[in-house]
Amino acid sequence: MDSSNPGPTEKQLLHNVEEHTLVKNETLHHYLQAATADNTRKAYRSAIRQFEKWGGRLPTTSQVIVNYCLDKAPVLNPRTLDLHLTALGQWHRVQGIANPVQEAIVLKTMKGIRRVHGKPKRKAKALRLEHIAQIINYLDQLPDTLKKWRDIAIILTGFFGAFRRSELVSITIEDMNWEPEGLIILLSKSKTDQSSQGLPRALPYAEHERVCPASAIKKWLEVSGISEGVLFRPINRWDQVNNKALNPNSINALLKSIGQNCGFDFVPDLSSHSFRRGLSTSAARERIDFELIKKQGGWKSDATVWGYIEEGQQFNNNASLILMEKMTSLIDLD
């Protein structure tokens, strides 16, 4: 051994091992964080905060959870309470502790709460083609501002692309691929693509530019001068474009504001989900093929798509309609 070049001391070796372990722990924490969607993590944290504010402590027991459910059942929607229990159960699983939420007394209690306090889920209003046409007519008659052209692009892209609000505000110039037939947007991350494989959404050119999302996006890029980064951005009162992305909540606010100006009587029920429900139910009314509807919305669940199709066709695919037509030939209409 060369005494003039001694190896690392025991203290140095120990330091290197600790440093390596720290890096690995940070990497593990990063991957564990990535395993859960940000919105899910926020919802879980909020649920646990509410449980602790009530007086609960973690870890907890099935009896404490039952007491929590009994106190909250009159004031919380059973679906919200289910979310709270899911968050509590997840906390125990991550800690490697037996999950009290799965005990029979908790499950039975929640079953009773759902039966007593359960209410139909309030759905976003599905925008119809005539609503989109009315919105575009309203926006078209406004003065030529950056906000006007951005809003037209958002409305047409959101509806015909059946985008979620999180998807809509995360589209970047780099995600867009222009083809002779139209525009392909590659969603780098989506609710139904948590592993980031990428979901393509095609927006073909329409015969008329006023109804064409691809043409509306081109116009928005032309007037805004945006050449990189996020597509849809905030605009201040002086019609100046910000460099950051729109907040997802601003899509809801935009829809409600435009709906108010258009005189819609369903403004409280408008949200970004009105785009997706609107595209799917409108396509169903036009008898568009199941697979085409599913593909455009990027849905993974066939049951979800069939639910939208049934909703869209609930009047023209109706047993009563057929019977009423038959009765018309039997009744004296004079």
Residue 289: inside a domain? yes
CATH of the domain at 218: 1.10.443.10
Out of 83, 117, 151, a domain closes at 117
Tell whether 97 and 138 lie within a shared domain: no
Residue 66: inside a domain? yes
Consecutive H or E run containing 179: strand 176-179
Least confident of 33-47, 219-233, 298-312: 33-47
Residue with token string 């976003």: 124
Residue 205: inside a domain? yes
- Give the Cα separation of 190 and 50 in Å (integer): 28
Residue 34 has pLDDT above 70, yes or no: no
Tell whether 112 and 215 lie within a shared domain: no
Tell whether 104 and 134 lie within a shared domain: no
Residue 328: inside a domain? no
Centroid of chain to Cα 225: 28
pLDDT at site 189? 64
Residue 193 has pLDDT above 50, yes or no: no
Residue 198 has pLDDT above 90, yes or no: no
pLDDT digits (tens, 9 = 90+) for 220-232: 999 999 999 999 9
Residue 323: inside a domain? no
Structurally, how many domains does the chain consist of?
Answer: 2
CB-based contact 100:109 (threshold 8 Å)? no
Tell whether 81 and 108 lie within a shared domain: yes
Out of 117, 139, 170, a domain closes at 117
Tell whether 103 and 183 lie within a shared domain: no
Residue 324: inside a domain? no
Average pLDDT across the chain, whole number: 89
Residue 36 has pLDDT above 80, yes or no: no
pLDDT digits (tens, 9 = 90+) for 69-89: 999 999 999 999 999 999 999
pLDDT at site 120? 84
pLDDT at site 306? 94
Tell whether 172 and 208 lie within a shared domain: yes
Tell whether 107 and 252 lie within a shared domain: no
Tell whether 78 and 225 lie within a shared domain: no
Tell whether 41 and 141 lie within a shared domain: no
- Give the Cα separation of 164 and 199 in Å (integer): 13
Section 233-259 average pLDDT: 95
What is the greatest pairwise CA distance in the chain?
118
For residue 331, give the amino acid letter.
I
Write out the residue range of the structural domain in which residue 148 sits. Answer: 129-312
Tell whether 164 and 39 lie within a shared domain: no
pLDDT at site 96? 92
User: Residues 151-154: contacts with CB within 8 Å, 24+ apart?
Assistant: 151/254, 151/258, 152/216, 152/219, 152/220, 153/213, 153/216, 153/217, 153/219, 153/220, 153/232, 154/232, 154/251, 154/254
pLDDT band, very low/low/confident/very high, at 3 (cuts 50, 70, 90):
very low
CATH of the domain at 45: 1.10.150.130
Tell whether 240 and 179 lie within a shared domain: yes
Residue 76: inside a domain? yes
- Give the Cα separation of 334 and 253 in Å (integer): 52
Centroid of chain to Cα 30: 23
User: pTM higher than 0.85 for the full model?
Assistant: no
